[in-house]
Amino acid sequence: MNATPCTLSARAAAIGDWDSIAGLLRRVFGVETNRDILCWKYAGSEGRTISSAVLAADRRIVGFLGQIPVRIRVAGHDRLAAQGADVAIEAEYRRLDAFLSLTDASTASLRAAGISLAYGIANSQATDPLSILLGEQRVAATPLLVRPLGRLFPPPAHSRTGANVVRPGGFDTRFDRFWLRIRDDYPIMLARDAAHLNWRYAETSGRAYERLAVEHPATGEIEGYAVLTIDARHHGRRGRICDLVTPRNADPQAAHTLIAESLRWFQSNKCRIADIWMFRHTHLHPVLLRHVFIPRKTNAGGLHAAPLTPEAAMRIPGIEQPTRWHLSLGDSDTV
């Protein structure tokens, strides 16, 4: 780390910082973004920036720690949590005191907002200092499954007779009722009510998602849904199932229908491969295997989580156990 002497100060991120943060992310990561995207991302479905922090040197922003406020269902209770997303510090300021200043400012904001749980999905290039400073521990590797596409791998015909597959423009109150139905299927699960789903997949700027839902033929109620996107950054085109949700103890045919429809949509868009995150303990894992999805070993990174206080650790048991979690690509900020 560089030992350049400089007085650094960290504080909570404010509305007027987003243009400077966009420039910082461009310089550090080479990614193009703007204030509208950053405001959307870091306000989350809560509609307010809570725990993101900036690092300043001579009033110039040289570091950023971005955390998204999210609702998580933990052991039968809804909790406000922080999803770690971006850490960027200009090269000449990458010192221990810079990391400490950012994490201290962010943690103070978290506690002031009553947030008791932090989690994140570290990519293979992520370094460990931030997770260590926040006290996070690795829960599990990223549960990646992949499936080849093309003439040799056609989608199996598992669509249910009479199933009503629709493409909703947004997520209405039926999705709130669906969330109430499935919210305790796993001890730890990111809240998937209409407010979150609309923020994550319908109100985005610069990202396109295909939304599929299975409706009950008689009542029109939601029996399951999937959210898809296409990632063209890789060689060829990669189809990604960002979210796939059906009730844990329901008829698996709704899941078969959604997976088959997803694969057909990917093939119609000339994707060469499809992938999804799904833990082995979920009811959807064996269904995905029947559709020729193959588990793949992933690089360093994966799911990290931590209670922020000893009291929170007592109220949030078992967060270090992967079998308590449901995790999807859409629970990260990578798609």
pLDDT tens for residues 169-210?
Answer: 999 999 999 999 999 999 999 999 999 999 999 998 678 899
Helix or strand (DSSP H, E) at 11? strand 8-12
pLDDT tens for residues 232-260?
Answer: 776 668 999 999 999 998 889 999 999 99
pTM over cut 0.85: yes
Distances in Å between the alpha carbon of 161 and those of 115, 116, 129, 234, 289? Answer: 45, 45, 52, 36, 22
- Judged by DSSP in three states, 169 sits in coil
Q: Give the CATH H-level superfamily of domain 8-141+300-321.
A: Gcn5-related N-acetyltransferase (GNAT) (3.40.630.30)
Mean pLDDT of 269-275: 94
Q: What is the mean pLDDT of the chain?
A: 87
pLDDT at residue 1, as a whole number: 46
pLDDT at residue 235, as a whole number: 61
Contacts of 162 (CB under 8 A, 6+ apart): 217
CATH number of 144-295: 3.40.630.30
Lowest mean pLDDT among 44-53, 68-77, 123-132, 259-268: 123-132
Among 205, 186, 223, which residue's Cα sits nearest to residue 327? 186
Indicate the pLDDT class of residue 51, thresholds 50, 70 and 90: confident
Q: How far is it, in rounded angstroms, from Cα 247 to Cα 261?
A: 18
pLDDT tens for residues 140-166?
Answer: 999 999 999 987 777 766 555 457 899
Write out the residue limits of the CATH 3.40.630.30 domain(s) in the chain. Answer: 8-141+300-321, 144-295
